[in-house]
Structure 1
């Protein structure tokens, strides 16, 4: 690292545009100050950018910048990004972001070089440099949240592919004529194994099973729509048949997707992040067994499947990490 004094800024924009975070970090990647501002509604582009500018104004207060200036800004975006051009291709759950030149917009506004990438790529980089994957030469990060994203890190670098779509594991086709995905396709992994898909499927199936519905009402204090993936795993562990079958399906299709990647890429580690991964071993242990059964021994014998260490901070730490690259 050539620079010895100053700061970087990390920005996280969620796929729905309803959750923004801004962090100021030193050149060792330590976050010194951060803001998180959720919105109760899905904003348009202008509203979101105005909110970000207000947050940046607060973070970049001269009081916080006593040891120099901001050298670079990194942005982790919850949707497809053309990292080479700095363009947000779209946010599936928000409006007005199609082919938006966010990198140029922020660089011009802040008069600082800016780098943007997909949030799963950013989280992947952060986990390999600072989290669960330290020292891994080839690591796959899978973010199992509202959607499903992935990032492939090879020799400490994000592997982007030709058009920055490498790692889009959420859009792997795993079930012919399966449920509709946020991108408009059918049978994609995201439509089956994301937190949103698991909860939606559970609530839909519980309607026809009074005992399961009663159990959900008990767990959620009558707010069935608020059930979490963790609570669904809990119901499965308690023997609820509807929950057990659903979790079995999720594990099956997730294992199919991961087995294909293991044979294609041969990673040493798969890091699971996002809200679904917070379940921990009840998710990871059966996934390990399934992959052992599905993969050639040579492809899986040194493979480790682990929970990410950075938790909900992974994308924001990733944004900071993007800003620090080659500084």
Structure 2
């Protein structure tokens, strides 16, 4: 490599000089054009690192005919899981030179449909949507051509790009952990209807069956929303209605689990000695609550990274036919004070 002749802020011309290539080659490397050989690409990248060149992302997006902005659509940032997920999406998007417009729907169907059509004041290149109401019919009726990636465990057509966690496996994992700790009467706060159980509830039910435990409808409680207040209210109802306490409770989210634990402690039920509690999501509060909450943690960083990988592919290759694009982020069990040590 040659010496850099310019003493001001690093320019593309300086990268070309240091790497011994043309400015066109530098541009091709920055913009991901495939026709640059691997050794040349490495020389350019090394030169960029050496002189500290920062590409003009706005100019690069303009040259590509892009806005450099994507939208993340979520039910609400007051929900800890989505607040944390949004942070991971912003971090991952920054590494690609994208800005993220965050839009809250409140779970309203009309607002979600408007978001699916890309109805924003600012032009966007793509959409990542976590929806509470969108299904195959709404997606089939979508007129917008803005690239779209769906998040969550709702049912979508095979051709809909989709990133999810294994909610079915998460439900099974929760029961398996409680059973390993000696629980035999296991309740679920936030269970879905038994007529059409959602994946997390389905996994819960299957795990009960696999361990030879009876299905107890009196130990299942649906809730109107995934909040601590709803979890506390449902647990209060459970405690009033059953003759014998459950010895384990699966809460549909960590926030719900905190309401569950509050109700138990108010009734002087010891956690985990009398009732063990496990949640989902591993929100930050789960670690600081007392007792600290055992939780099944989705890898939000991977959810964000995989959603952006799929979206980048859709944006970069709009003419490609996309089929069966479904990515699944990993889970892990984080054992804390709210459950018993497996026997």
User: What is the TM-score when the length of structure 1 is the normalising length?
Assistant: 0.38
User: What is the TM-score when the length of structure 2 is the normalising length?
Assistant: 0.36
Larger Rg: 2
